[in-house]
Structure formats: C-alpha cells, structure tokens
C-alpha cells in the first residue's frame, strides 16, 4: 500500500537497564526514579527509559544528546545488538523484538544496515572488497557483491578509488567507505551511529550534504545519531533529544530550536539559533486584529480604541496587505473627508515577507514603530511581529552568534 501510514520503525515502551540484579533496577526505572539514584542504590545503569518513537518511511530521524544519554543503546536496541529489557521494536509491521536469532540475522542483512563511527577497514583488502565484506559474509555471490559495492562507492564519490588500499585514504574517505558499506547492503533502513563525529568540520559538512543528496535519491529511512545539534539541524527531518535515557523532545529542527520543551533543550539549542533559522514566520503572531479596506475610517478608529492598539493592519477583500493605520493618520483622513479605509493614507513601508531571515528583519524593526506585518508570497497578511518579540529574538540570536564565534576562535 503506497499510502500506508504504517511507520517504517515503531518503538514502544522501550527500556534498557544494564544490571546483573534481579530486575530491581528496571522496576525502579519504570517507577520513575532518577538514573543517579538507581545507580547508587542498585548499581544498575539506566540505558533507556520508556522510549516511544515512530519513524516514517524515507524519514531522516536524528537522535541527539550528550555523551552517555543512551543514543548508541537506542540504535543498538533497534537491531538488537543490545537486547532491550522491556518494550517493542517494529520494522515495517514486523516485531523485531519477537524474532528468533535466524529471523534477526535475516533482518539485519536485508532490512537494517548499520554504519558505525569507528569501524575497521581490513588493511590488506582494497576499498571495493572492504565495502563488499558484509555482502560476502551474507553469502552474496562475488559478481553481485562487487557490482553493489562499486555502485555504493560511486554514490559516496569514491568511484575512482575502488582499487586503492585503506592506508591510501584520508579519514574522511575512510568514513565514506563506511557509509558505502552501509549503502551496499541496500536495506530500506540505515542506522548510523555518529558516522561523522571523528571528522573535521569542513569534511563533515561535505558528508552531511552528500548524505542529504543521497537520501533524496535513494529514499532510505535513516536513524542518525549525533551529539552535535548543528549537525542534527542540518540533516534531520525530525530530531529527538535524549537525556538520561529518556526522550525529552521530538520535533522538526525549527520546532526544537525555537520552541525548546524545557531548560535542558533550551540550553542545548541556544548555540544554534543561527540567523538563517529564525524567519519572520517563525516568530510572528498569527492572531492579530486587521481592518478591511471597505470598512469606514470611523470603524477603524473604534477598533483601534477598543483594543488599545497603537496601529492596525489593513487588508483588502482577499486578505492582501494594504498598509498600516494609526489613530492620528485615521483622524487626519476623516478631517480631509476620506470615509473608507482603502482611501486613507496608510503606512506601507515596513512589511516583511514570511521567509525574511532575522538579519534582514532587524533593519525593518529598527525603522518601524509598530508591529511588523508579515506577508505570504501572495501578499496576504499572515501575521505580525511585535517589536519586543523581535528584540528578544535578536538578543538570543546575538548571544548565540557570539558564542559560536568565540568557540570557533578558541577551538
Ligand atoms: N554494556 C554496558 N554496561 C553497563 N552500562 C552501559 C553499557 N553500555 C552502555 N552503558 C551505559 O548506558 C548509558 C548510555 O550509554 P550509550 O553508550 O548509549 O550513550 P551515548 O549517548 O551513545 O554516548 P556517547 O555520545 O558517548 O556515544 C551510559 O550511562 C553508559 O555508561
Ligand atoms: Mg554512543
């Protein structure tokens, strides 16, 4: 079924507690005790706590969080490299957590490839044979595995390097080989545990771009682990943020950065409120008063007074922005005999487009002495930005940029 809403991966009530006790650690985890408390009391380590996630087909789902929060445990519980304590993992409607060893081996080969941060390339095998290794282990015939390995190497830009030996490759190229290894499995789902973390920033960005292009063309479902929010925001369709084994927020990158669920996420995201992320649409109010052009100027003045506004936006019958009126311009209009709003002199200078980024909002905000009207591409008024909102966005943004520059200068 092409419009099947069934998720590619469904994780329900998943727990992992590392312990050799009789289940006391797990019971305490289920009862909501803190990770530290449980470890102190029983020696058990909370790996995962009640994870519930649905990942759609073709989605690039990022899991991020600080070291030790449980990211690797989560991906490894998905393919059962780590056995979950409780809970279910479903892959395309089949329950992985109920599979026999044989079924599991099959699923890992056909459905669920994994790319690791640190993986060994066999030094005496060339690049092609390194990529083909898991296929060889999986019993794929030589001609087919070489063809699939070559295709995968082409996808990651190493088509010319198939005959090279690992020691001839840079770190970034080796990581591409790892990615190619995962791709050559031709599985619908790819699990990637910090695949780019060991790389320097420029190469890392290249590989992120390549991953995005790849996903566009091969439409895989990807679970991508990172501890870097910049990377998460760059590559993720959605991001799950973990702390102490639990998921504390799941959302689109924009959501997570602009509406952090709690102070933990806010702290995380502060560094990432980069200029490009904050657009007029992301900080506007969508509830606002507006006056129709066909209304009378007297009605307009009444609206302004009743609602204690300093200004009001005026729109035509289709909702298109005409301009902004204030009490004195309205009064002047009535005195000069104008009766309808659309004939009155309106300020029109300081409207912004919904896609306008914070950098470009600032000049308009500095000029305006009223909330900034935000227009859609068709000129329809879709929101307003109160100036104090803009000021707050500027402050947090400037703080973020300063922090980024500082860390770049010191790093
Ligand atoms: N085999 C194990 N035995 C005991 N504790 C474990 C084991 N594996 C992981 N843990 C603990 O589980 C928690 C989660 O570890 P995990 O490796 O999943 O974190 P992570 O988010 O991947 O961290 P990193 O970013 O450093 O890779 C940590 O507290 C870790 O110490
Ligand atoms: Mg890890």
In the reported structure, the alpha carbon of residue 140 is separated from the centroid of ligand 2 by a whole-number distance in angstroms of 30
Type and span of the H or E element at 292: strand 290-292
Instruction: Identify any residues that bridge with 315 across adjacent strands, giving them in sequence order.
Output: 292, 321
Residues 314 and 183 placed together within one structural domain of the fold: no
Instruction: Identify any residues that bridge with 290 across adjacent strands, giving them in sequence order.
Output: 313
Give yes or no for residue 17 CB within 6 A of ligand 1: no
Give yes or no for residue 410 CB within 6 A of ligand 1: no
Of 254, 274, 294, at which residue does a domain stop?
274
How many other CB atoms are found less than 10 A from the CB of residue 69? 23
Task: Give Cα separations from 15 to 26, 28, 146, 303 (angstroms).
Answer: 8, 12, 40, 56
The total domain count for the chain is: 2
Structure tokens given for 307: 């609602």
pLDDT at position 355 is 85
Residues 190 and 329 placed together within one structural domain of the fold: no
In the reported structure, the alpha carbon of residue 193 is separated from the centroid of ligand 1 by a whole-number distance in angstroms of 13
What is the domain extent for residue 350?
281-393
Task: Give Cα separations from 74 to 16, 62, 77, 79, 140 (angstroms).
Answer: 9, 12, 5, 9, 29
Q: By the 8 A CB rule, do 117 and 195 touch?
A: yes
Residues 269 and 293 placed together within one structural domain of the fold: no
Give yes or no for residue 35 CB within 6 A of ligand 1: no
pLDDT at position 146 is 95
Residues 348 and 373 placed together within one structural domain of the fold: yes
Does 2 reside within a domain?
no
d(CA 406, CA 411): 8
Give yes or no for residue 227 CB within 6 A of ligand 1: yes
pLDDT at position 93 is 92
Of 221, 246, 274, at which residue does a domain stop?
274
Residues 372 and 389 placed together within one structural domain of the fold: yes
Does 176 reside within a domain?
yes
Does 372 reside within a domain?
yes
**HSE-up of residue 54 (Cα within 13 Å, Cβ side):** 5
Q: What are the tens digits of pLDDT across the range 196-246?
A: 887 777 778 888 888 888 888 888 999 999 988 888 888 999 999 999 999
Does 252 reside within a domain?
yes
Q: Name residues of the chain where pLDDT drops below 70.
A: 1-5, 118, 271-277, 394-411
Atom of ligand 1 nearest to the CA of 65: 21
d(CA 44, CA 40): 8
pLDDT at position 409 is 53
Rg, C-alpha atoms of the chain? 28
CATH number at residue 179: 3.40.50.300
Give yes or no for residue 20 CB within 6 A of ligand 1: no
Residues 251 and 331 placed together within one structural domain of the fold: no
Q: By the 8 A CB rule, do 244 and 37 touch?
A: no
Residues 191 and 317 placed together within one structural domain of the fold: no
Atom of ligand 1 nearest to the CA of 242: 21
Ligand 1 site-directed mutation target among 70, 118, 196, 229, most atoms within 8 Å of CB: 70
Does 37 reside within a domain?
no
CATH number at residue 340: 3.10.580.10
In the reported structure, the alpha carbon of residue 34 is separated from the centroid of ligand 1 by a whole-number distance in angstroms of 16
d(CA 182, CA 177): 9
Residues 168 and 186 placed together within one structural domain of the fold: yes
pLDDT at position 395 is 61
In the reported structure, the alpha carbon of residue 21 is separated from the centroid of ligand 2 by a whole-number distance in angstroms of 24
Does 82 reside within a domain?
no
Type and span of the H or E element at 325: strand 321-325
Give yes or no for residue 45 CB within 6 A of ligand 1: yes
pLDDT at position 198 is 74
Give yes or no for residue 177 CB within 6 A of ligand 1: no
Does 38 reside within a domain?
no
Q: By the 8 A CB rule, do 313 and 280 touch?
A: no
Residues 184 and 319 placed together within one structural domain of the fold: no
Give yes or no for residue 70 CB within 6 A of ligand 1: yes
Give yes or no for residue 116 CB within 6 A of ligand 1: no
Give yes or no for residue 2 CB within 6 A of ligand 1: no
Type and span of the H or E element at 392: helix 387-410
Ligand 1 site-directed mutation target among 44, 65, 71, most atoms within 8 Å of CB: 71
Give yes or no for residue 119 CB within 6 A of ligand 1: no
How many helices and strands in the chain, by DSSP H and E? Answer: 16, 16
Atom of ligand 1 nearest to the CA of 225: 22
Of 233, 250, 274, at which residue does a domain stop?
274
Residues 237 and 123 placed together within one structural domain of the fold: yes
Give yes or no for residue 64 CB within 6 A of ligand 1: no
Atom of ligand 1 nearest to the CA of 45: 5
Q: By the 8 A CB rule, do 255 and 275 touch?
A: no
In the reported structure, the alpha carbon of residue 80 is separated from the centroid of ligand 1 by a whole-number distance in angstroms of 15
Does 198 reside within a domain?
yes
The strand ranges marked E within 157-280 are 189-193, 221-226, 238-243, 246-251
Residues 289 and 348 placed together within one structural domain of the fold: yes
Residues 219 and 288 placed together within one structural domain of the fold: no
């Amino acid at each position: 079924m092409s419009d099947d809403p069934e998720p590619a991966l469904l994780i329900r009530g998943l727990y992992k507690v590392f312990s050799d006790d009789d289940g006391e650690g797990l019971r305490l985890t289920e009862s909501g005790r803190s990770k530290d408390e449980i470890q102190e009391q029983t020696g058990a380590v909370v790996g995962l706590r009640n994870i519930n996630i649905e990942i759609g087909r073709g989605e690039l789902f990022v899991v991020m969080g600080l070291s030790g929060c449980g990211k690797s445990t989560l991906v490894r519980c998905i393919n059962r490299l780590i056995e979950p304590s409780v809970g279910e993992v479903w892959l395309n409607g089949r329950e992985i957590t109920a599979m026999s060893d044989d079924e599991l081996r099959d699923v890992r080969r056909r459905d669920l490839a994994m790319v690791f941060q640190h993986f060994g390339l066999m030094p005496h095998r060339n690049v092609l044979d390194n990529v083909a290794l898991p296929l060889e282990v999986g019993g794929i015939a030589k001609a087919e595995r070489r063809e699939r390995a070559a295709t995968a190497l082409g996808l990651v830009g190493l088509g010319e390097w198939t005959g090279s030996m690992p020691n001839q490759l840079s770190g970034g190229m080796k990581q591409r080989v790892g990615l190619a290894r995962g791709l050559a499995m031709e599985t619908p789902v790819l699990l990637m545990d910090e695949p780019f973390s060991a790389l320097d920033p420029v190469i890392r960005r290249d590989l992120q771009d390549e991953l995005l292009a790849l996903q566009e063309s091969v439409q895989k479902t990807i679970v991508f682990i990172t501890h870097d929010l910049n990377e998460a925001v760059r590559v993720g369709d959605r991001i799950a943020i973990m702390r102490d084994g639990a998921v504390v927020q799941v959302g689109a990158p924009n959501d997570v950065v602009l509406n952090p669920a709690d102070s933990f996420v806010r702290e995380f995201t502060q560094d990432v409120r980069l200029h490009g992320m904050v657009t007029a649409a992301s900080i506007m109010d969508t509830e606002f008063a507006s006056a129709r052009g066909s209304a009378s100027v007297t009605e307009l003045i009444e609206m302004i007074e009743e609602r204690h506004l300093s200004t009001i936006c005026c729109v035509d019958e289709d909702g298109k922005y005409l301009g902004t009126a204030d009490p004195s311009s309205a009064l002047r209009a009535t005195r000069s005999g104008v009766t309808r709003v659309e004939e009155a002199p309106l300020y029109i200078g300081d409207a912004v487009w919904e896609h306008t980024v914070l950098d470009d909002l600032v000049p308009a905000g500095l000029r305006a002495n009223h909330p900034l009207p935000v227009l859609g591409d068709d000129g329809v008024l879709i929101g307003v930005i109160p100036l104090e909102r803009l000021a707050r966005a500027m402050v947090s943004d400037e703080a973020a940029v300063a922090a980024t520059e500082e860390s770049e200068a010191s790093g």
